Amino acid sequence: MGDSPSSPSTGVSIPNGTEFADGDEPPSSAPRPSSRHPAWADVPETQWNDWRWQSQHAIRHPRQLLDLLPFSEDERRAIEALQAQYKLAIPPYYFSLIDPSDPRDPIRLQSVPSPLELAGAAGADGEDDPLDEDKDSPVPGLTHRYPDRALLVTTHVCTMYCRFCTRKRATMKRGGWDAVSHDDRRMVEYVRDHPEIHDAIISGGDPLTLPPEKLAFFVENLTAIPHLDVIRIGTRVPVTLPQRLDDDDLMALLGGSGKIWIQTHFNHPREVTPEARRGCDRLRMAGMPINNHAVLLKGVNDSLATQRALCRALLRIKVRPYYLFHCDPVTGAGHFRTPIWKGIEIIEGLRGHTSGLGVPTYVVDAPRGGGKIPLMPNYLLSASNDSVVLRNYEGMLVHYHPTGEPVVSPEPVETQGVSALLEGQGEVLLPEGNPRMLRRRSRNQANGNGHGKGKGIGRLHDGGRPNGNGHHHDNPNGHGSGNGHHRGNGNGKGKRGIVP
Ligand code: SF4
């Protein structure tokens, strides 16, 4: 498995052309504000930092867009054609994160229309409602799928229209909202009348674009429902228009609920700017935990380097990477979809290699309303009556006895590999050159007890449990050194621990 051709594999490029490797500081740590596209270089700071100015000056028409970036003839034609079908909106702040010299820029791919969205283009096929949300809708605008949760689609407006949006039938599609007509009061009443619902998601579109009185209607009425423990606000405002979060009244409304969690949607580390950090700080200081729902998007973030950098950048601003969604089969977004193994590969490279706080759950939202199904690499390799063989992130295989000491086989069979672990012929199988064991060996040698000769890594051994002569195996690199400290050295003491 490897990275797609469109994805960086060794580092993540940032607009000024430098590269930051996974271990380096991302742009989010820079104290200066994000740079601007030259078109807005002379806009005074007060206006630039005003969400109303940003909203009013969002790019909403091809004639604005086509002057700001280089486009091919195909792209120009597609942008004009798609305007009749889908809405366009990109605030100057978010647009300025695009590197104009890179036609495959990840911010550009998310926000600027592409010829690949046109009907008949490769990957353009899909469904308007791939998750059957409307079919699980007892009240227009409300989806009640899981036993204790309800989703309320409260608006069709977004600060930026993501080209891969699962709900584009209601948000981006012109006239789409009419087909999803809704009734605010009935949605709230439905939640109130269903005591089994403990978690309501106010979504859209982006609910932070709602007029203040309408947002207050949802927040205050839902907050007052005693059986509702959690109210989630699904918003991309921290990513695409973080200036909106400077509004004290908005913070007071949301923070005053005491039940609100924010679920936001950063997809790329370059979106984690000083402005985004400030917005997230304000949400958190107002009492709202923030979780991130990223979508795995081809060309945008389908590489381990990008996902590691994203998760680390999010942790720095105290946003928890919560979900990594496989891209849904939505109309006109097929070009963003990746094979499933790409997501598995990314989780393989995150789990164990980085803080558990920074590892999202990779999920596929199943068709026909099947809901979220988590997927991950295989860590359970085999099992017997009394034990299992598990694999850790290093490739170390461990024979694990979940309920205590293993039953000793009356008829041991000489065998190899995972089967040998299950037969009790060892406890651990280590890959050759395991860096953690090399570090142990260095420490042991520095401490003067390095009796290992560096041989034997990559072989089965008994994993450091007390052996027949009372020694511990915290230096497994010493196998085969003939020093008599280890089991499995042919002297008949203890269990057989080494299988060459
Ligand atoms: S902000 Fe959310 S609802 Fe709006 S277009 Fe993007 S993904 Fe869709």
Closest CA to 126 of 269, 330, 300: 330
User: Ligand 1 pocket: which of 171, 180, 233, 244 to mutate (most atoms <8 Å of CB)?
Assistant: 171
Longest dimension (CA), the chain: 83
Q: What is residue 383's three-state secondary structure?
A: strand
Per DSSP, helices labelled H in 112-211 are 176-179, 184-192
Q: Supply the residue whose CA is at minimum distance from atom 7 of ligand 1.
A: 165
The domain ranges of the chain are 1-377, 380-478
pLDDT tens digits, 389-416: 999 999 999 999 988 876 667 787 889 9
pLDDT of residue 32: 80
pLDDT tens digits, 250-268: 999 999 999 999 999 999 9
Closest CA to 211 of 37, 55, 374: 55
Span from the CA of 237 to the centroid of ligand 1 (angstroms): 10
Told to judge if 328 belongs to the known catalytic residues of this protein, a careful annotator would answer yes
Task: Sort 467 into a burial class: Cβ within 10 Å, 0-12 / 13-18 / 19+.
Answer: buried
* Catalytic residue of the set 76, 87, 284, 372: 372
72, 273, 277, 365 from 324: Cα distances, Å: 32, 20, 20, 11
For residue 428 the two structure tokens come to: 């651990």
Residue numbers of the chain with a pLDDT score lower than 50: 1-30, 451-500
pTM of the model as a whole: 0.84
pLDDT of residue 177: 72
User: Ligand 1 pocket: which of 162, 172, 201, 296 to mutate (most atoms <8 Å of CB)?
Assistant: 162
CATH says 1-377 is which class?
alpha beta
pLDDT of residue 441: 86
Span from the CA of 276 to the centroid of ligand 1 (angstroms): 17
Residues 6+ apart with CB under 8 A from 3: 9, 302, 303, 304
Told to judge if 493 belongs to the known catalytic residues of this protein, a careful annotator would answer no
pLDDT of residue 220: 98
